[in-house]
Amino acid sequence: MRARVFVTLKPSVFDPQGRTIVEALHSLGHTEVGDVRQGKYFELDLNVESAAAAEALATEVSQQVLANPVIESFRLEVDSESKAGRS
């Protein structure tokens, strides 16, 4: 099973990387870009049988390790194919 985890800074937390990117984009003339927030994206390959088990494991791993609850929140998607996304 494959889980995808998205970790983002909470809205109240200032995102220095996002701000730097916005500034770079504005200086390149992309003034239509209003805001950018940068987060992290994880693809997990999980050796479990069911989508429910995958969801439970991914949630645990995200809470415990992948996200820091002081500044970040996460959401996840479970997907039973073994390959997610195209490249």
Partner 1 sequence: MNFAVVVFPGSNCDHDAYHAVKHVFGQSAEFVWHKETSLGDADVVILPGGFSHGDYLRTGAIARFSPIMASVRAFAEAGKPVIGICNGFQILMECGLLPGAMLRNRDVQFHCEHVGVRIEQADTPFTGKASVGQMLRIPIAHGEGNYFAPPEVIAELEAHRRVIFRYASADGEVTDAANPNGSVHNIAGICNEGRNVVGLMPHPERAVELVTGSADGRVVFESVIQHGV
Partner 2 sequence: MVFDSATLQRHGVTPDEYARIVELVGREPNLLELGLFSVMWSEHCSYKSSRVHLKTLPTEGARVVQGPGENAGAVDIGDGLAAVFKIESHNHPSFIEPYQGAATGVGGIIRDIFTMGARPIALLDSLRFGPVEDPANRRVVRGVVAGIGGYGNSMGIPTIGGEVMFDETYSGNPLVNVFCLGIARHDALVKGQASGVGNPVYYVGAKTGRDGIHGATMASAEFDETSADKRPAVQVGDPFMEKLLLEACLEVMQTDACVGVQDMGAAGLTCATSETGSRGEVGVEIDVMHVPQREAGMTPYEIMLSESQERMLLIVHKGREAEVERIFEKWDLHAVRIGEVTADKMLRIRDHGTLVAEVPNRALTDEGPVYRRPFAPPADMAARQRMPSVDATQLPVTLDALLRLLASPGIASKRWIYRQFDHMVRTNTIVLTGLGAGVVRVKGTNRALAMSLDGNGRFCQLDPRQGARLAVAESARNVACAGAEPIGATNCLNFGNPERPEIMWQFAEAVAGIGEACVALGTPITGGNVSLYNETAGAPILPTPVIGVVGVLEDASHVRSRVFQDAGLDIVLLGENHGELGGSAYLTTFLGTISGVPPALNLAAEGALQRFLVAEAGLGAITSAHDCSDGGFVVALAECCFDSGGIGADVDVPAASGDGEVGMAAATLFGESATRVILGVKPEASTALLERARSAGVAAQRVGATGGTQIRVAIDGVVAIECPVSEAEDRWTNGFSQWLESPPQRRG
Contact 38, 17 (CB under 8 A): yes
The yes or no reply on residue 64 touching a second copy (CB under 8 A) is: yes
Tell me: does residue 53 bind partner 2 (CB under 8 A): no
| Out of 17, 31, 50, 63, the residue judged to bind partner 1 by CB under 8 A | 17
Q: Is 14 one of the binding residues for partner 2 (CB under 8 A)?
A: yes
| Binding residue (CB under 8 A) for a second copy from 50, 63, 68, 75 | 75
From CA 87, how far away is CA 78, in angstroms rounded? 19
Closest to 17 in 3D by CA, of 42, 36, 34 = 36
Reported residue count of the chain is 87
Given the structure tokens 């992309």, which residue do they identify?
Answer: 30
Q: Check residue 22 for interaction with partner 2 (CB under 8 A).
A: no
Q: Residue 15 or 78: which CB sits closer to partner 2?
A: 15
